[in-house]
Every structure is written in C-alpha cells, then in structure tokens.
Homo-oligomer: A and B are copies of this chain.
Amino acid sequence: MAAPSPQPSQPAPAGKTAPRFELLTLGDELLLGLTANGHLTWIGAQLGRRGVQLARNVTITDDADAIAAQLRESWARADVLITTGGLGPTCDDRTREAVAEVLGQRLVFNDAIMREIEDRFARLRRPCTPNNRKQAFCFERGEVLSNPNGTAPGLWVAQEGKVLVMLPGPPNELQPIFLDQVLPRLAALGLVAEGEAYLQLRTAGVGESMLETRFQPVFDRHPGLGIAYCAHQWQVDCRVSSPDGRYPRAALQAIVDELAVLLGDDLICVGHDSLAKVTADLLRAQGRTLAVAESCTGGLLANSFTDICGASKFFMGGIVSYSNEAKMTLLDCPECLLSQHGAVSAECAVAMACGVAEQLSSDYALAITGYAGPTGGHDGNPTGTIYIGLHTPHGDWSKKLHYPGLRPAIKQRAVTAAIDWLRREVVKETRRTREPLAN
C-alpha cells in the first residue's frame, strides 16, 4: 500500500556495526489468516524508535519440529532473536525442549516460577491444572522475565555473543515485559539506543518527493545526518538522526525545529502521536469540543477519537446516520435537501456537520458521506467519492474527494482526510488566539 523509501541511513547505536534483529512469530492462527500479526507491528515500531530496523520476521506453525528447524536457521543469522508465543499451558509440550536443544542447554524446573503461577491461580480462585507445570521450566543458563499479567514468564538467554528473547503471546502480557525488562537489557548491552534514536517529523498533505525537495537545502547544510522517510496511512514521517554521533541532541532538535517551520501546517507533530491524538490535544488546549456525524464511514470516525484515552474531555459524541431517516431525525437534515441534492452531496455533508454540532452543542463538528463501495455511486459521483463537512465556530465548509481502492481503504482515507482538515482549522484558531494582533 504505502511504500516507504529505502532506509540506507537507519541509525545504529554509535560505535557498533548494526546488530541483526529477527522476530519469530509462532502460531497457526497467523498462517491461517485468523488473526493479524500484531506483534510484528508493535515490536517493529518499538525497535524502530530505538534505532533498530527488524531485518526479518518469520511466521511459522506451532509445531515443535518446525520451531526447532526455524530457530536453528534464525539463530545462526541473527544477533538478537525475539520469539512470540509457544510458551502457554496449551502449547506443544515439546516447544521448550526443541529450543533448549538448539541452544545446547538443559531445561530446569524453577520453583520460584511455579510458586508465582500457583499464587496467581489462587488469587483468581481457579484450579491450577497440571499442564501449567511446564511453564515453570526455564533454561539452565538464562534469565526469567516475570509476567505480572499472566502465567507464562518470558525467557532471556545471552550466549555466543547473541541474545534470545522468548515472550508470551497475549499482547497485554508481552508488551509490558518488552518495555520494562527487554528494552533496558538490550540497551545495557548496547544493542539498542538508550532512548529515542531519532527525532521524527510527522506530516500530512505532502508527498514524499515534495517533502524531500523542501528539506534538501537544510540537509545540504548539515552533512552526515541520517534521514529516513516513511509513508503510511497517507502520511509521511521524516526521521532525522546522527548515525556517527556528530550532532548532539540539542543540535538535532535545532535542525528539526527549522524543518518544522518549513512545513507550516503540514506538520502534524514532532514525535509519534497519531493524527487523531494531536487533533484531540489541540481541541483540549483550546477548550473546544467536537461531535461527528458519519454515513459511509459508519462509526470509524467516532472510533478514531474514542480510541484516545480521556476522549470524553472533548468528544461529545457521534451519530452514524446510515439512513435518510436517521439524517432527518437525528441531524435535522431537511427532507427537501436530501431529495434535491442526495445524501452524497456537499450540501448534505454540511447539513450533517451543522446538525450534529447543534444536537450535541459542540464547537466543532465533522461529517462524512460518500460511496465507500463496492456498490453505490454513479457517473458524477462514482464509488470512492467522499464529501466531508466541517463545522467550526467561524464557518461551515465542505470538500469533495475521490479515493481508489477497496472499501476498508476508502473508509480509512476518508477518516484521515477529515481529521486532518479539522486539525488545520484548530491550528488556525490556536494561532489567532496566540497572536491576536498579527491577524
């Protein structure tokens, strides 16, 4: 979908050749397409922030023989090998043994782990069945990564100048172990950066080549910078680092500040916040509230804001007006407007935005109506046509857009475009508030 540019200058911890990181994800459910490989997305992003790009991710079945064969191959190539899954009570009994054999280690029963598992079951008032016992086996030369949210602890082995990290599969168990125990250990060994390895400018509304053209004069004045562009979700991130350490943090920050000025309102943020989060923070800072009305995106726009913790501070609510009746009843869209212009029209988008703002007494409101496909649409407004309506304290507008692709992609792009438009309007208001004389 989005194609980032190659990353020739991905920073490595200073003074080392870049260690090779591989991720081994175990699970039939991934290969059968039953669940998405969320561990790759999450671990890949976390390592990226510490200056490491995963060299490879291999997904294989839960079968112990397959695990042993792949582990042997990956362990020979990688400097750091991270595995997910395969540690729970219902996993193949032979998984741990197969891994121990590849490492040339013995498995030992760990009383302390068993007591923790038994305590956990006692706290939950559930019986501790015998198959939980295998989770108390660990490698004779290795460390145990305790798991506050589950029974199977993670395992850490450092040998032959390499590191093997085995993590339990459930995300709510894996993620805290990785952040609190794995990253600090990797940093102590110099395998990942101590903190954030780069500064990131997150942009919207500019293509990658245009961004490069705008930034090049600044980069020409600062040789030796590490620069990487990452396009995703119709945004482009630019990551700036100092691979050889010649630019200290403050100097990098000054360069990024200069780039930020060049970007103007095309800058979403410096950092990792999502577009929705940045927009939410701007609204909160201005003490403004938001409501949304949506037709073809059917709840996805509201969901983008309610995914943010504390959304109730600014988000008044949303209306999914999937039928003309709902548009009339809940949003006060006039019947004559719907019959004259249709539900997929600039007029309807504006009426929906104003209607929901009035219903929920919000300062701002976004509305989306369109044809997300695969059916619907006609000559003037083919499938992929989207109208966005925006209500602000200063006026109401609409915008017509057209996106190619499948229904989920069209819905996501429409939501992204709508939120970015709102962000730009709130930025303008913020500027007017701060610089009353300049306007």
> Which chain A residues have a beta carbon within 8 Å of chain B's beta carbons?
1-4, 6-7, 27-38, 40-46, 48, 53-63, 66, 70, 85, 88, 90-92, 149, 169-172, 175, 230-233, 292, 296-307, 309-312, 315-323, 325-326, 329-330, 359-361, 374-375, 404-409
Which B residues are in CB contact (< 8 Å) with A171?
1, 405-406, 409
Closest residue on chain B to residue A31 by CB atoms = B54
One of B230, B297, B321, B406 near A29 (C-beta < 8 A): B230
One of B29, B62, B91 near A232 (C-beta < 8 A): B29
Report how far A36 CA is from B59 CA in the complex, Å. Answer: 14
Q: Flag if A306 contacts B322 (CB, 8 Å).
A: yes
Q: Pull 27 A–B residue pairs with CB atoms less than 8 Å apart, ordered by A.
A: A1-B170, A3-B91, A4-B34, A6-B28, A29-B230, A29-B231, A32-B48, A32-B53, A33-B46, A33-B48, A34-B230, A34-B233, A36-B41, A37-B41, A56-B66, A58-B59, A171-B409, A298-B307, A299-B306, A300-B303, A302-B320, A310-B375, A316-B326, A318-B322, A325-B360, A325-B361, A329-B360
Q: How far is the CB of A32 from chain B (nearest CB, A)?
A: 5
Report how far A325 CA is from B317 CA in the complex, Å. Answer: 9
Closest residue on chain B to residue A317 by CB atoms = B326
Q: How far is the CB of A291 from chain B (nearest CB, A)?
A: 8
Report how far A361 CA is from B326 CA in the complex, Å. Answer: 9
Q: Flag if B306 contacts A330 (CB, 8 Å).
A: no
Which B residues are in CB contact (< 8 Å) with A2?
29, 34-35
One of B7, B316, B361 near A28 (C-beta < 8 A): B7
Q: How far is the CB of A208 from chain B (nearest CB, A)?
A: 9
Which B residues are in CB contact (< 8 Å) with A169?
1, 3
